[in-house]
Every structure is written in C-alpha cells, then in structure tokens.
Amino acid sequence: MTNSRRPMKAEDLTRLEVFSDPHFTPDGKAYTYVSTIINENNEYEANLFFQNVNETNRKQWTFGHHRNSNLTFSPDGKTAVFQSNRSGLSQLWLIHTDGGEARQLTTFKYGASNPIWSKDGKQILFSALLEKDDDIQNQKELSKEEQQQELEKKRNEPLFVNRLQYKSNGKGFHDDKRTQIILLDIEKELYTQLTTADEDHRLQDISPDGEKLLFTANLNPGADYENTIDLFLFNISTKKLSKLTDSKGIYYNARFSPSGNKISSFGHEYQYDGATLSEIFVFDIATGERTCLSDSWDIELGDAMAGDTRLGKSTNGPIWSKNEDKLFFLATDFGATGLYLVTLEHELTVLYKNDNHVFGFSYDRNSESFILGISTPTNPCNFYKLGKDLDLTRLTNANAAFLEEVAVTDPETITIPTKDGWKIQGWILKPYEFDENKKYPLILEVHGGPHAMYGQTFFHELQLLAAKGYVVLYTNPRGSHGYGQKFVDAVRSDYGGRDYEDLMDAVDYVLDHYPYINENRLGVTGGSYGGFMTNWIVGHTDRFKAAVTQRSISNWLSFYGVSDIGYFFTKWELGYDLLENPAKLWDFSPLKFADKVETPLLILHGELDYRCPIEQGEQLFIALKHLRKDVEFVRFPGADHELSRSGDPNMRIARLEQICRWFNKYL
C-alpha cells in the first residue's frame, strides 16, 4: 500500500525542532525550555520559550539567530538569567519575566556561562575562562575582529606543550586559561573571584544560606596524570576549602538539599575503569559521612541513550524532594530511560518508564509534579506533565507539520540469543513502503562508546536509511549500557571478541527469522567504537557487500599517543597500554587485518577529531589503497568527533549523503 507521507531525506535535519532543558517557574504554574533549530543560514539557533502548564500556547522569550540557553529563575520568579552569544561570545543576560528586553550582565573577555542564583536572589554565581592574573572587575568582551586577530596570532606562534592533557576534542589545544567560579553582586555590580587554582573548576551549587559553594575539580599535585574529579565545599566568607571525597573516583551533578544539611551527587570510583556504573551518593555535611543509596542496584544512572537529534543540555538529577527524604533522577535500563526516585532508606521506585527516552526533567516542590522531556522512535521530542498521582499530560506538539508530511518507521524490538547463552536486545526498522513479498538489503548499525546504548529514541540517520529502502538492524552488544555491570564490563580486554560475535549472531538471527531480508545484500556502518567494529568486521568476514566506517580507530598503537584520551583509555578498554604490550595492541588493531578486507569500504573522518584523530582513517585508507582494495576516504574540514550529532549542519547532511551514496552503489 502506498504511503501518503514522503520518505525521509538527509536535509530533513534542518526541519526538526529539538527541545531541551525544561524548568518550572518558582510558583510551579509555568515552565520554560530551549528550542533549537537549524535556520535558513544553516546555523544552529536556540531560543527560550515560556508556557503555562494548563495552556497549549507558548510564548517566545528570545529571538534572532543566536544561541540562548541555561535559563534559571530568581527565587521570587520576577527575573531570570540566561546565557546567550548575541553579543558575540556566550555571556550572561538578565530578563524580567513580565516582559521587556534582556539586559547584558557580563562582558568577560572569554565569555561567561552556567549561572546559578543565590537563594536570596541578590547574587549570581557563574563560570568564566580566565588567565592567571586577569582583572575580573574590568573585563571587556573581544569583538569579532579582535577574536580573529587573536586566532591569527595563535596560528603564527609555536605552541609550547608541557602537560599530558594538552588537548581535548571540541576544545582543541589547551592554553593557560582555566575555568574559575565568579560571584556577581547584582545590585553593586561587583565581581568576586572565588577560585584561583591552576585547574578547571566545575560549578555545582550554592547552599540555601548563601554561605557555601559546591564545586568539582582535581586539585591534586598530580592532576595531569589522573582522571579523578573530587567534590569540594567552599565557605565564601571564611575562604575555607573542604574536600568531601578521597581522590579515588569521579563526582558530578552535586546539589545541596533544601535545608543545606546534605549533598547529593552522582559518581563512582572506577571499580571497572571507564565501564563502571555510576552510583548516587548522599553526604552529611556535619559528620562528613558518605552514603551510597544505589549499592544494591544494577542500572546506569543518567541518560546513556545514543542518538543524533539531541541538542542542548537537560537535567538528569539527582534532584531533592521538598522534604529532602528522597531524590529524583533519570536512569538507563533495557533500551529506555525513565524517571526514578530513591528514598534515603535506599528504596527505589520507578516513577515513569515506557518504551521511550526521557531526556530531561524538572521538579516542582509546590505541586510535587514534573515536566518530562520525552522522545520516541517516531517523534523527536515533546514535553509532558507528570502529576503527583503519576498521570501524564502532553504539553507540546513539536514537529507536528513535519510528522504529517514525512514517514517514520516504528521499530520492532527483538531479543537475540547468543552462542554462549547471553541475550542481546536489538531493533529492526522496516523500509519505506514495506512489501513483505519483496527482498530488501540490510544495514547493520553499530553504536559508539562502546559504553552507550541504542534504544527507544528518535534517530534521524536510522530513519533515513529505512527511507532509502533498507532494513536497519541496530543492537546493544555486550559492552553497552542498560543491562547491568557485568554486561557493560564484558567488552573490556575483548574488543573484537564476543562483541563481534554478538553482532554476527544478530545478523544470523534476523536472516533466519525475517524472510524479506536479502542475505546477499548486507551493509554495515558505525562511528567511534562503531567505526572500530566496522573496521574489525570487514577484516574478519566478507559477508558484507559494503561498509562505511566513521571517526574510527584502526591502530591502537598510535591511538595511545594521538587521541586526547588514548593514554588511559587504551589500558582501560584493552587491558594494556603501548609501553606494556605493543604486540597485544597490534592484535586488537583492525589495520593488522587490512590484507583480509574484501568489502568495499568508505572512510569518513573529521579533520579536527581529537578523540579518534584523522590519522586513524588515513592509516587505514593508505594501507587498503596500497593493497589495491576498493576504498574511498572523505575528510570533513573543521569537523570534530561530534560531527554526526552537533557538527556543522552542512557537514552533517554531506556525511549522510555519503553514507547513502556508498550503500546505494554497492547494495
């Protein structure tokens, strides 16, 4: 039967409206959120919207081709502060909630971000990138011309490197600037720099009495060689600094309880290195006692969902209840994310979990209700109110016209038995205008991480491939989040082992159970770890007739020294670093098996990818080309590791077009 809606296109990325960051107003009667689109200039544009929870109409608070975000209300709800790049750099702006133009609060040379109100509404805490001896009272934002001049100056000067951690994906090469925490007295227009150490400080919260600041950082002498992040309490009046943790792990999303007597935080102590599930902790400020509330659980806290249409940040928790007897948070489990609560007696309750993706929430202490941001496989996003009695009411109707025009496919969930007795969750997307009497080519998608999760969320790339006439198979092989600690840890020291077999078992399963799949027309693609696995697959089987590897790893020996995380990630995931066992790293490297590759391979890589640097793609391309294999290499100028998710819109569309071109050619 002919579909009344047209098939998805690559350029439909520019048609999507993406919601994020819901926030109740202090009285609980309304909420705000961020809406991000790709405008007519093919640039991201994010604006703030306001909506009463009992009305369907929304009110736009900011306008123009800028990026506005991180809005937070003053305690009395009369004003709000947010960050915006409308002046050129991201700065803080103040807006009256009853109307009027926003007023610029900061003009810091390198911008300001992450504002938090003091509980009396007289001060705002925020983060700013500062050089060592900057005068914070006389900061002047650089003009576009001055920014360009500074950039040109850097390009013409040598870069002196004396730190192990000297670059990072997205940020580029590090310099002497550090993120510091600043206190702004709004009435006096006076700034106070609260942190000064030669490390980045991550602002978390301010106590209800306005006396204590909560932040995370690594202030140890050997910080350059560590991946620990401690939690600190700073007394603003006395300047006394207290470390709440013991430099054994990583802590984040920390918040004071309503009374200020306790602190909640996510974190873990690297028991399984980078595969360790996060825990939820409560600190008693008076006694210093730390309690783990999640020690008997086997779920990942927060949102580990993989996708390509999430823009902007949203709250994952933990958030205190009004009586501070429980905490609310998101958790990732079995292909979905949901809203949970835990009491201080360790009792866990699922408040909302369905076959979808809760990507953020806001809690109102007045009504004890929630705003939930929810994505489903067939709908990019909407906001819902979850009442105290857990009834769910939809508040928005995002992308309605788009979804009336464009066909989207609802996936079928499958469970795949493996040869060694495990069970793997996966999904099948049928092609556009599916006819059960026809045979269709299949594309296997492999997610990155590997400690991430495919699941019940909208995924433009997957829908696009289905629209192009392919059956799309995506699964969560061992190493993925969502199935417990043993499962997520099982890939370590076994890359290309049982994880590879899980994927092949999945392909075998769908070929056995779905007669409409053509076993002679199979394709495979993936990015990051998924790119590594694509490279591994084509070096170990010729069952696939086309492959596209994206931002991949091909050589673990060089990855150790060129990736921004290679020096520790290599040992975390493979069990060895370059200096300990180079022969073993070579055994894990797809490049070793280049002579076995018979599958036509397209290599896609961003030129500014510091996570999986482009030399990984270059090495594989040269080896295969030298061997006269069927291979092409597409380089994306200016693109980093986030190309497919938040990269330049034109480059994102070009990437999708290249994937479709390659599979169309060979499948």
| DSSP category for residue 625 | H
Looking at the predicted structure, is the pLDDT value of residue 6 above 60? yes
Looking at the predicted structure, is the pLDDT value of residue 484 above 90? yes
Looking at the predicted structure, is the pLDDT value of residue 186 above 60? yes
Amino acid at 121: G
Distance between CA atoms of 119 and 25, rounded to whole angstroms? 15
Q: What pLDDT, on the 0 to 100 scale, is given for residue 356?
A: 95
Percent residues over pLDDT 90 in the chain: 95
Q: What pLDDT, on the 0 to 100 scale, is given for residue 145?
A: 87
Instruction: Give the list of residues 6+ apart from residue 88 with CB closer than 8 angstroms, or none.
Output: 141, 142, 143, 144, 147
Looking at the predicted structure, is the pLDDT value of residue 1 above 70? no
Q: What pLDDT, on the 0 to 100 scale, is given for residue 641?
A: 98
Q: Backbone dihedral region of 635: left (phi > 0), alpha (psi from -120 to 50 degrees) or beta?
A: beta
Please report where in the chains the tokens 């994937």 appear, as a residue.
659
Q: Which of 151-160, 198-207, 420-429, 577-586 is the least confident region? A: 151-160
Q: What pLDDT, on the 0 to 100 scale, is given for residue 2?
A: 65
Q: Yes or no: say if 532 and 506 are a contact pair by the CB < 8 Å rule.
A: no
Query: Mean pLDDT, to the nearest integer, of 380-401?
Result: 96
Has this prediction a pTM greater than 0.85?
yes
Query: Mean pLDDT, to the nearest integer, of 635-664?
Result: 97
**How confident is the model over 244-263, as pLDDT tens digits?**
999 999 999 999 999 999 99
Query: Mean pLDDT, to the nearest integer, of 311-330?
Result: 96
Distance between CA atoms of 123 and 492, rounded to whole angstroms? 47
Identify which has the larger pLDDT, 145 or 417: 417
**Can you read off the two tokens belonging to residue 6?**
């047209």
Q: Which pLDDT band holds residue 148 (cuts at 50, 70, 90)?
A: confident
Q: What pLDDT, on the 0 to 100 scale, is given for residue 147?
A: 85
How deeply is 520 buried, as exposed, middle or buried, from its count of CB atoms within 10 A (0-12, 13-18, 19+)? exposed
Distance between CA atoms of 164 and 190, rounded to whole angstroms? 37
Q: State the Rg of the chain over Cα.
A: 25
Task: Give me the half-sphere count of Cα atoms (radius 13 Å) on the Cβ side of residue 492.
Answer: 19
**How confident is the model over 19-61, as pLDDT tens digits?**
999 999 999 999 999 999 999 999 999 999 999 999 889 999 9
Q: Which of 133-147, 441-455, 462-476 is the least confident region? A: 133-147
Q: What pLDDT, on the 0 to 100 scale, is given for residue 143?
A: 85
Q: Which pLDDT band holds residue 428 (cuts at 50, 70, 90)?
A: very high
Q: What pLDDT, on the 0 to 100 scale, is given for residue 495?
A: 98
Query: Mean pLDDT, to the nearest integer, of 140-144?
Result: 87
Looking at the predicted structure, is the pLDDT value of residue 502 above 90? yes
**How confident is the model over 100-139, as pLDDT tens digits?**
889 999 999 999 999 999 999 999 999 999 999 899 999 9
Looking at the predicted structure, is the pLDDT value of residue 374 above 90? yes
Query: Mean pLDDT, to the nearest integer, of 609-621?
Result: 98
Distance between CA atoms of 517 and 565, rounded to whole angstroms? 39
Residue ranges and CATH numbers for the domains of the chain are 10-402 (2.120.10.30), 403-554+589-666 (3.40.50.1820)
Residues serving a catalytic function are 528, 641
